[in-house]
Each structure stands twice: as C-alpha cells, then as structure tokens.
Amino acid sequence: MISFLFWFAILLVLILIWRFPLWRGREIFPGYQKDRTLLFGHRGVRLDNMTENSEEAIRYAFESGLDGIEFDVRLTKDRKLAVQHDSHINNKHIRTYKFDELKEINPEMLELNDVFRIAKEYPDKLLNLEIKTETIKTFRLEYDTIKAIKASGLENRLIVSSFNPISLFWVRLLAPKLRTGLLYLPDGPVVAQSDRLAGFLHVDAIHPYVDLVSQSQIIAAHKRRVKINTWTVNDKKRISSLKTMGIDAIVGDNPAILLAENP
C-alpha cells in the first residue's frame, strides 16, 4: 500500500510539472513574423455567392489580403481527407461516404491535398487546419492528416486545431514538431467547454469562441508564450476591441470586415 501511494505521488508530481512549469508555447508560424493580429478567413470565406471550403473561397481569402484561412478536415469511408465542416450530408455521416460520392453531391468539395496545392501558389499565406471528429475513436484521421501535412512540406505555415483533445494528443504524440491549438466553446461537450486541458496537451495556442475571450486570459497565455486565436468574428467594433486587447489571430467570414481596420 505504501509503495502504491509513493509511486502515485511521484506520478502526480510529474503530471503537475508537465502541466505547469514545462508548458510553454512555441512560435506557431516560424519565419512568418507580423507585429499585428493575424486575420484568417473562416472556411476560406463564407459569402452568399460562394461555397465555403471550396477552391474559389480559399483563393478569394488569399487574394483579398488575409493572412490565411481556417478550414475543416474529415475522413471518408475510403480514407480520403475531405475538406468539410458538417458531420452529416443528407442525414448520413461523412465517414459513410466514399469521396467520389461526396463529389457527386457537392462538385466543389476538396481533398486536403487540394488545399495544399492552392496554398503553395501563395507562399506567404497560412493555414489553420481543424481536425473534425466527435468521438474517441477517430478512425486514423490524425495519422492520415499528419502524413499529408509532412508530404506537403507546409509544416511551418500550418497549425492543427481541434475541439477533440484526443485528436490533439495523437498529433502531439505522432508529430511533436507540429503546432497545435485547442478549440472550445460554452455549449459544447463538457470536455470542450474550457481551456483546462490545454496545459496537459502542451498546445501552442488556445482557440476560444469570441464571447469567451478576456484580457486576463490573453495576459496569462502570453506569459507562457501561448497564442490566443479567436473565432468567428464578423463585427468591426469587436475586431477593433480584440486587437486592442492583444489577440493574436481572428477568424471571420468576410474579408472586407476583417480588413476594415487593418493597417
């Protein structure tokens, strides 16, 4: 019993050391320095005349002057990495479709490698890749995503984010050099309602929903060299306020609104 308690205490101490003193964020985009808030298009852009997460939306975001894009990746039945936000199409989960079947429904749907192909044409643009999965069993999504990222050579222009801490754990374990960000919002699953797990995951950025951002949070994160990137912001006054607070990046639907006060 004494031996068990001893080793349990040692483990607890090591976990606390990992969580607190050892957690320090890394530069998210090495070699890409801007002394201002970075601006990202949400799913490329979300405008009435454009399909989100499409090639047209991505190019529009890049060419409008934004720093980069946020986009979503899901795994299909035939192990393709589909750029798709919603989990279901026609009441069926994405992973029950083959990619070609999804293309028949939405001809503008992209694979992850399509995004990388486009991004390579814009060498100064950045990528926020969100891994989309709602379960503990993630069907090798992280492994396949990491493999594609490494093959693209775009590691230094990309951050991997997710609401799912299991996904971020696997990314950190399988590709420790990749930068990661923890997403959270107030009305999601309990595990995704705060940034409490960020330190245990050693993420480089915290991605709170805009209504959850506070000045004290930004100050505390910056002391650990951790970035605060928020979403989805479509109000000029709120964007200005967030910049004044020292937010590191803002994700929004409309480039015109995001860039309205940008120098």
Residue 228 belongs to some domain of the structure:
yes
**Segments forming the whole domain that contains residue 247:** 2-258
Residue stretches of the chain with pLDDT short of 70: 1-2, 6, 188-193, 261-263
- Examine residue 263 and state whether it is found in any structural domain, yes or no: no
Residue 56 is assigned to a structural domain of this protein:
yes
What pLDDT, on the 0 to 100 scale, is given for residue 136?
80
**Domain holding 222: CATH number?**
3.20.20.190
What are the pLDDT digits (tens) for 156-205? 999 999 999 999 999 999 999 999 999 998 876 666 667 788 999 999 99
Determine the pLDDT at residue 5. Answer: 78
Identify whether 168 is part of a domain.
yes
- Residue 134: per-residue pLDDT: 82
Which pLDDT score is estimated for 2? 67
Count the domains in the chain.
Answer: 1
**What is the pLDDT, as a whole number, of residue 236?**
96
Whether 227 is in a domain gets the answer yes
Measure the CA–CA gap between 14 and 130, rounded to whole angstroms.
30
In a domain, 40, yes or no: yes
- Measure the CA–CA gap between 182 and 203, rounded to whole angstroms: 7
Residue 14 is encoded by which pair of tokens? Answer: 């090591």
Q: What share of the chain is helix, strand, coil (3-state, %, to 5)?
A: 40, 20, 40
Distance from the first to the final alpha carbon of the chain? 64
Q: Among residues of the chain, what percentage have pLDDT more than 90? A: 81
Q: How far is CA 44 from CA 24, 32, 68, 184, 232, in A?
A: 30, 20, 8, 20, 12
